[in-house]
Amino acid sequence: MVVLRAGLCPGLTEEMIQLLRANGIRTVVDFVSSDLEEVAQKCSLSYKALVAVRRVLLAQFSAFPTNGADLYEELKSSTAILPTGSPSLDQLLDSGLYTGEVTELMGAPGSGKTQVCLGIAASVSLGLKQHVLFLDSTGGFTASRLYQILRARAEDGEEQLEALQRIQVVRVFNIYEMLSALQELRDRLSQQVVSSMGPLKIVVIDSVSAVIYPLLGGKHSEGLAIMMQLARELKTLAKEFSLAVVVTNQVTRESSTGPLKPALGRSWSFVPSTRVLLESKEATWEKATTQRVASLAKSSRQPTGIQVELDIGNGDVQELSPATLTQGL
Amino acid sequence: MQREVGSLPLAPALRAKLVAAGFQTAQELLETGPCGLSKELGISKEEALEALQVVRQECPGDVARTAGGSGITRKCTALELLEEEQAQGSIITFCSALDSILGGGVQLTKITEICGAPGVGKTQLCMQLAVDVQIPECFGGVAGEAVFIDTEGSFMVDRVVDIATACVQHCQLIAEAHQEEDHLKALETFSLESILSHIYYFRCRDYIELLAQVYLLPDFLSEHSKVRLVVVDGIAFPFRHDFEDLSLRTRLLNGLAQQLIIIAHDHKSAVVLTNQMTTRIGQNQSTLVPALVSWLPRCAASSCHSKCRRY
């Protein structure tokens, strides 16, 4: 709903705008959807000028359809699949993280979401030599742990340091800071400013629920509105700039014994195209274990319910369990 | 500066008016100016001016941006973070087993939660930490001050006096053994009186006082910049009774958690929380779990003491 302003297109002068406004036409939508003959009569403006302005406005503001074949060609040339650093997780995600999509990792506290995110950042930075943007909202990003993962995967000290330099970390502790950081990223990418940030292919956000939870619930729907703003920002970033976006989310239960379900409700469930649930193998306090089970909860490419085992320690995973089909979430 | 109007921190009613009037980006708002804005939206000039100030704060001008400065001060590469972390000290607990599982001691800029059944020693450990944070750097400490927020009323000053006296004696023994000049100089300022005077104690009796205290803490910390430890003894206690609206409780706790994370990060201090245990009754057996489990995700480390495993 863009407001009509002088200079929006050639031929739209300030007096035209005043006349139009006096007759209740304030935005582009009002203008384009009104009967131009009537408007020409009421505002005593030339019909030809109005038609010309309308043509320019339509060209500027409407979306253009493409056909399926063109779309497919574009997709083939612009989509990349990024490895997560863990072969079994790659297998779960149909060979890795797809750019242009939002992938969600969800799990209970301590299930390994931040560890998997660190692993992904390390793998993209070290293996593909691409830059990574890591938005940390929980304070859980530990550079020494990242360094440990890099040391386990690469021998050369130089390479490790370079990989560390390619990962940019931004700490955002509330929703407005997060939106501001994403907006800044969008501005930078669209202006193609040559800065220390090289080619960016992936944005990792840990975690999305930490900044949205304090706003949800209660009588006001403001929290939902902000959440949807964030959703739109993430999807636009992913699609327009061919980035892979990885977010982490918590899980809740209906009652104390019910099954786990992702937090942030039904509205958020439409945002990520792929959802992976992380769980500990044996939920006890006693045994220290680095084994986790990842199951596919939502995917547009694979059948849901596939489970794989993951080791979030230093070893890249192995242990492969043949995909077992269990009840999907 | 294409920041969308919907994503600016303005009051919802104002935002709704802006969107209805057709404003889409922050740039358009700034171009219109306060008079134009108040006319279009039907709000007073003061309100329009306030709104524009908020917008200007959120979107620093292009000049600042190209000069390399950024409104977000928390941006750095992983390499810089690594160097920062390696240079950071941690608060020792004087119990080597505990220090080793915590990776050297209680980490600064992180939240540590200590949970346990009643009587197992959580408050004692917190009091020990409040004294240990003040150990001078030449003895391996972080030379900071401590803030102690008490919700259960279990802070005993005489016990702190005992702990502090023992700590000072320990440091004196080290100084005598090594006979270095900076040790002796540090000992002049490290005495019982100075330790006690650098523990700032707050007593909160219900959840409102606790929330108020935590939200006001950044102002206090900016005046007392040497604080390196914030202890909240009994984080679950005020929230467990008399709370009818459970979704409000979750919201408040999450807001509290984010505030504590901000404090830990911006002031480079360690935040230590103690939590109670509750019993989860399962199908065949019951297990002891920390209370308010949804609280856990915020903590970097969570150590659980059970009665049979005391360190």
- ipTM of the complex, rounded to two decimals: 0.78
Give residue-wise pLDDT tens across range A305-318: 888 888 887 654 33
Report residue A198 as tokens.
Answer: 């090289």
Position B80: which residue type?
Answer: E
Determine the Cα–Cα distance for residues B52 and B232; give it in Å rounded to an integer.
Answer: 38
Give residue-wise pLDDT tens across range B288-303: 766 665 554 445 455 5
Most B CBs within 10 Å, among A26, A142, A209, to test the B interface: A142
Mean pLDDT of A36-64: 83
Most B CBs within 10 Å, among A282, A285, A286, A287, to test the B interface: A285
Q: Contact A218/B109, CB-based, under 8 Å?
A: no
Give residue-wise pLDDT tens across range B258-273: 899 999 988 989 999 9
Question: Which runs of E-coded beta strand occur in chain B?
Answer: 75-77, 90-91, 106-107, 111-116, 145-150, 199-203, 227-233, 270-275, 277-281, 286-290, 301-305
Q: Contact A210/B297, CB-based, under 8 Å?
A: yes
Look at residue A220 in the predicted model and tell me its pLDDT: 66
Look at residue A283 in the predicted model and tell me its pLDDT: 53
Give residue-wise pLDDT tens across range A210-256: 888 888 776 667 788 888 889 999 999 998 888 999 999 988 877 66
Q: Contact A142/B300, CB-based, under 8 Å?
A: yes
Residues of B in contact with A187 (CB under 8 A): 1-2
Rounded (5°) CA angle A17-A22-A26: 55
Whether A196 shows a pLDDT value over 70: the answer reads: no
Residue A212 near residue A168, CB atoms below 8 Å: no
Q: Contact A169/B75, CB-based, under 8 Å?
A: yes
Whether B176 shows a pLDDT value over 60: the answer reads: yes
Distance from CA of A280 to the nearest CA of B (A): 15
Determine the Cα–Cα distance for residues B163 and B133; give it in Å rounded to an integer.
Answer: 13
Pairs of residues, one from chain A and one from chain B, whose beta carbons lie less than 8 Å apart: 141
Whether B201 shows a pLDDT value over 90: the answer reads: yes
pTM for the model stands at 0.81
Report residue B207 as tokens.
Answer: 């959840």
* Residue in chain B nearest A148 by alpha carbon: B82
Whether B73 shows a pLDDT value over 60: the answer reads: no
Q: Contact B300/A134, CB-based, under 8 Å?
A: no
Give residue-wise pLDDT tens across range A265-324: 888 889 999 999 998 876 555 556 778 889 898 998 888 888 888 888 765 433 333 333
Q: Contact A214/B24, CB-based, under 8 Å?
A: no
Q: Give one DSSP letter per residue of B289-304, joined into a string.
A: EESSGGGGGG-SEEEE
Q: Enter the DSSP assignment of B89.
A: -
Contacts of residue A265, Cβ cutoff 8 Å, sequence gap at least 6: A216
| φ, ψ for residue A171, nearest 5 deg | -100, 120
| φ, ψ for residue A102, nearest 5 deg | -105, 125
Determine the Cα–Cα distance for residues B159 and B5; give it in Å rounded to an integer.
Answer: 55
- Chain centre to alpha carbon of residue A307: 24
Question: Which runs of E-coded beta strand occur in chain A?
Answer: 81-82, 97-98, 102-107, 131-136, 167-171, 200-206, 244-249, 251-253, 260-262, 274-280, 291-298, 306-311, 324-325
Whether A326 shows a pLDDT value over 70: the answer reads: no
Number of neighbouring beta carbons within 10 Å of residue B285: 7
Give residue-wise pLDDT tens across range A72-86: 888 888 888 999 888
Length of chain B as a residue count: 311
Q: Report the percentage of chain B scoring pLDDT > 70.
A: 86
**Long-range contacts made by residues A220-226, C-beta under 8 angstroms, separation at least 24?**
A220/B12, A222/B12, A224/A267, A225/B6, A225/B12, A226/A175, A226/A179, A226/B6, A226/B7
Q: Contact B72/A170, CB-based, under 8 Å?
A: yes
